[in-house]
């Protein structure tokens, strides 16, 4: 079993998975020897104080990256994580969706509880199956046209006024629209695989 040191604590790396939840980490560079862990598959850094995503060039085999509940403002430094299938960024300070263009193997993306006002920067994530954009400041549903493998979409708790932009999502099976400004439950019969629509107005 391999070990690394964080804040003078010795942390075990078990089966290429590293958990560093609530370690008071301010910068990813504080994690000594992280650059040597090229075989790391899963990295959990939630509930720290990370404000900037530093470059992850060396973690080319990473499959899951969790950065929930930090202070991240901008998505960057992920270009080399081409094998990433799960990215969790819930509960940060992100305003603009960008820096994801090369992550075309991504299947799960959580950007909920941020400060996003526009859906953009997702056009290359054609393998995405799960997308959570709830608890943001989104007014219009757009930028999803190429996400043809999307199965689950959560847009709840946004000031959305109407439902549009979903016409190409033929694999969508679950849509959540709770706590929006949409005046009535929409008719989405044109989505062939849609099974569950959760709608509760403000």
- Alpha helices of 7-135 — where are they, by DSSP H? none
Mean pLDDT value across residues 15-43: 88
Instruction: Check if the beta carbon of residue 130 is closer than 8 Å to that of residue 107.
Output: yes
Average pLDDT over all residues of the chain: 94
Q: For residue 32, is pLDDT > 80?
A: no
SS3 28: helix
Q: Which of 21-25, 91-95, 159-163 has the lowest mean pLDDT?
A: 21-25
**Among 126, 181, 173, which residue's Cα sits nearest to residue 154?**
173
SS3 19: strand
Tokens read off for 25? 């980490």
**Answer CATH for 94-201 from 3.80.10.10, 3.40.50.2300, 3.40.50.1000, 3.40.1190.20:** 3.80.10.10
Instruction: Check if the beta carbon of residue 176 is closer than 8 Å to that of residue 155.
Output: yes
pLDDT band at 104 (very low <50, low <70, confident <90, very high): very high
Q: For residue 1, is pLDDT > 70?
A: no
Q: pLDDT at position 4, please?
A: 83
CA pair distance 202, 192, nearest whole angstrom? 27
| pLDDT tens-digit map of 167-198 | 999 999 999 999 999 999 999 999 999 999 99
Tokens read off for 135? 């608890």
Q: For residue 6, is pLDDT > 90?
A: no
Place domain 1-93 in its CATH homologous superfamily. Answer: Ribonuclease Inhibitor (3.80.10.10)
Can you give the residue ranges of every domain in the chain?
A: 1-93, 94-201
CATH topology agreement for domains 1-93 and 94-201: yes
Tokens read off for 190? 């044109």
Q: pLDDT at position 138, please?
A: 98
Q: For residue 106, is pLDDT > 90?
A: yes
Taking CA 21 as the corner, what is the angle to CA 86 and CA 68, rounded to the nearest 5 degrees?
45
pLDDT band at 70 (very low <50, low <70, confident <90, very high): very high
Q: For residue 15, is pLDDT > 80?
A: no
Q: pLDDT at position 7, please?
A: 79
Mean pLDDT value across residues 16-34: 87
């Amino acid at each position: 079993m391999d070990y690394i040191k964080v804040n003078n604590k010795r942390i075990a790396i078990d089966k290429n998975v590293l958990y560093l939840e609530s370690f008071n980490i301010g910068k990813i560079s504080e994690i000594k020897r992280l650059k040597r862990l090229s075989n790391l598959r899963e990295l959990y850094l939630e509930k720290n104080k990370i404000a900037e995503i530093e470059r992850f060039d060396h973690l080319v085999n990473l499959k899951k990256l969790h950065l929930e509940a930090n202070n991240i403002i901008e998505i960057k430094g992920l270009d080399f994580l081409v094998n990433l299938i799960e990215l969790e960024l819930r509960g940060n300070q992100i305003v603009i969706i960008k820096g994801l263009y090369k992550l075309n193997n991504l299947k799960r993306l959580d950007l909920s509880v941020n400060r996003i006002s526009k859906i953009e920067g997702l056009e290359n994530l054609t393998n995405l199956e799960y997308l959570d954009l709830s608890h943001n400041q989104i007014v219009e549903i757009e930028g999803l046209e190429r996400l043809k493998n999307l199965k689950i979409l959560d847009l709840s708790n946004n000031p959305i006024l109407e439902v549009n932009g979903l016409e190409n999502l033929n694999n969508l099976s679950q849509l959540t629209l709770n706590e929006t400004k949409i005046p009535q439950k929409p008719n989405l019969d044109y989505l062939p695989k849609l099974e569950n629509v959760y709608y509760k107005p403000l």
